[in-house]
């Protein structure tokens, strides 16, 4: 039996694994009430961008920059800059 990864686009698999790795590290770095507001995260070079579901939570997330850097370093990921951004909620079309 062949693995499903052989049938999927390798870029999609790679992005999925990267997101899971970032998510696992964020679980260790952020308290649950902040973590549940995280929509997505991206690591480019040494800049981690964390997207939340509202500007208010984006502001609160900035208080955890030092903890995020510390946890990511322990997980073997170099993060020198943490950016917090918000994205509008996705509403399904009727």
Q: What is the CATH number of the domain that holds 43?
A: 3.30.300
Domain range for residue 67?
9-86
Q: Is residue 2 part of a domain?
A: no
Task: Take residue 64 and report the two structure tokens written for it.
Answer: 């955890």
Q: Report the predicted TM-score, pTM, of the whole model to 2 decimal places.
A: 0.79
Q: Which three-class secondary structure state does DSSP give residue 15?
A: helix
Q: What are phi and psi of 29, to 5 degrees?
A: -95, -25
Q: Is residue 14 part of a domain?
A: yes
Q: Is residue 93 part of a domain?
A: no
The pLDDT-based confidence of 33 (bands split at 50, 70, 90) is very high
Mean pLDDT confidence for 34-54: 93
Q: Is the pLDDT of residue 66 over 60?
A: yes
Domain tally, the chain: 1
């Amino acid at each position: 039996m062949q693995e499903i990864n052989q049938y999927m686009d390798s870029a999609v698999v790679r992005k999925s694994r990267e997101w899971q790795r970032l998510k696992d590290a964020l679980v260790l770095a952020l308290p649950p009430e902040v973590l549940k507001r995280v929509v997505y995260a991206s690591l480019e070079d040494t800049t981690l961008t964390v997207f939340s579901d509202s500007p208010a939570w984006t502001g609160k997330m900035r208080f955890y920059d030092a903890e995020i850097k510390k946890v990511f370093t322990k997980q073997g990921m170099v993060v020198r800059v943490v950016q917090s951004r918000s994205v509008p909620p996705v509403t399904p079309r009727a």
